[in-house]
Amino acid sequence: MNRSLLLAVGIASLLGAGAGAGPAAAGGDTGTAAYQFLNLGGSTRIDAMAGAGTAMASGSDALFLNPSLLAGTRGRDVSLSYVTWMPDVQTGTLGAVLPLAGRSAAGVAVRSLTVGDFGNVPGEAEVGQSDLAVSAAYGRALGPFDGGVGLRWIRSSVGEEDASGWSADAGLTYRIVEGWRLSGAIRNMGPSFPYGDGPDEELPTRAAAGLGATLGELRVDSEVLWENGPEWGAVVGAEYGIRERLFLRSGALFGTDADDAMDPWTAGIGIRVKAGWELDYSFRNGIFDASHRLGVRWAPDRSPDDSDGTMVRSPREHYLNVANQAIDQGLASFPRDGGDTVVVRCTAAHEAAKTVTAAVADRLRGWGLVVETRDPAPTASGIDPETEAPAAAPEPEREGVHPVLEVEIRSSKHEILRRTRARWVGPVSVERRSTVDLGFRLLRPGEDSPAWTGAGAAEDTETVAAARVPKSSSYPQPGAPLASGKRKLHPLVEPAIVGGIVAGLALIFFSNRDVGE
């Protein structure tokens, strides 16, 4: 059995555990646990970030790292990765996730490793290796937390000796603020099982705790790792998106032995070639040969933000919701049998006149009335305050023909009260308020006094993520800080990028010195 175990450990070490083997594949202590192919990383995206993803993996990536992150899946997600390392070593992964009701999701994953005839013990015959793991996982939101569990069937063959068993994963994520997560996961928990008639072999159980952050277009994941046998280690990975079309990725392992067969740093790129399709590539250098992993992802429902999926209303939608409340209150006692046609107009020019007039007309039409709308009298300057164009002259009154419902806009506002960041590190949020106060009077042909009067007022204040507020096509136009419609970078983004570049160059320099030796 020693030969078989050494072979399995040797292959995992040579691959550097793809991305994410961390300390488990790197020290002289490696080998205290078998079935090391379980730590060969996940998708190409995660591989490019050195396996970091316990706190920031998404979609099918979560199947390999932390099942609690499945709860954040917004749509279907399928990923496939494949790498051929040296002539006879091939490994790949396949993952698929489907969102379910109640902010939950489930998925399945397959991981495989095949090795041609290989020998690392002098005097013994060469043998091949074939490993396969099939898993299923489920994640669900639990208040401010996300929880998830996974179960995996394992089969491994080394030469003529076979082994099969199972393992389980569990994870928990705390959503600090939008874009910031604190996560923990335990992977490959389960009983020991043997190759053939040999002794029981332990699983490479691993525990990881990480902090993930989204700073503008930069996503960073840093975590500490522990595996039964090797020493503690750490991994840091980052991804920077450019217009959600191009993704630059890199990562590094810390606390691992410098004489490993693979460099501790990784790099990669992702390209969204068309809606729903992404091609990924990752690179990892080594003594014998470099590792190049290719991947493809299909995620037609992917959302670029890290939100909880709740739709945010545009300024116009927020305002109209309040205006309709005021209209419903003001027209609660409106006489609906006063004729088959009603003319609706505002009493004076106002920037909200067209919006309010249209909303009142829609409400009356919903009651089965025939409605005509008229513009209010032009301002003294002759300029329409909403379009900033010369106002058209009002249509002549149709005395003795139709009743007129006049709407007085006493107050109409949509204002940004303040901008803030939750717990200082969260994305920019804005507190906005819409206020509408309306007066109504119904004038019948030939009558001097109003036949009916009414009034209604409403107000609503809410705090929303500024970057997720859609633009309005007309009144009310958003005021600062939403007028530009652009996502502003967090103040920590620039120093984080500069620090990452400096650290990356230092890692590349020192790791290449070790490999060269």
Question: How many C-beta atoms lie closer than 10 Å to residue 220's C-beta?
Answer: 22
Give the torsion sign (CA, 346, 349, 352, 354).
positive
pLDDT for position 27: 35
Estimate the share of the chain in helix, then strand, then coil, as percent rounded to the nearest 5: 20, 45, 40
Contact 365, 331 (CB under 8 A): no
Q: Which residues in 101-217 belong to E strands, given as ranges?
A: 104-118, 127-142, 145-158, 161-177, 180-189, 193-194, 200-201, 206-215
* Rounded distance between C-alpha atoms, residue 194 and residue 206, angstroms: 19
Contact 382, 389 (CB under 8 A): no
Token pair 């290449």: residue: 512
pLDDT for position 127: 76
Token pair 């810390």: residue: 254
DSSP string, 260-287: SSB-SEEEEEEEEEETTEEEEEEEE-BS
Contact 102, 138 (CB under 8 A): no
Positions of the chain with pLDDT under 50: 1-31, 257-259, 304-306, 308-309, 379-382, 392-399, 480-487, 513-517
Give the torsion sign (CA, 50, 298, 98, 301).
positive
83: alpha, beta or left, given left = phi > 0 and alpha = psi -120 to 50? beta
Instruction: Give per-residue pLDDT as tens, 328-374.
Output: 999 999 988 756 789 999 999 999 999 999 999 999 999 989 999 99
pLDDT for position 218: 87
List of residues 6+ apart from 479 with CB closer than 8 A: 414, 415, 416
pLDDT for position 472: 80
Phi, psi angles (nearest 5°) of residue 394: -65, 150
- In the chain, the domains with their CATH numbers are 2-301 (2.40.160.60), 315-468 (3.40.50)
pLDDT for position 240: 92
pTM exceeds 0.75: no
> What's the token pair of residue 146?
């996300």
pLDDT for position 433: 93
- Full strand arrangement of the beta sheet holding 404-421: 370-374, 341-346, 404-421, 428-443, 452-465
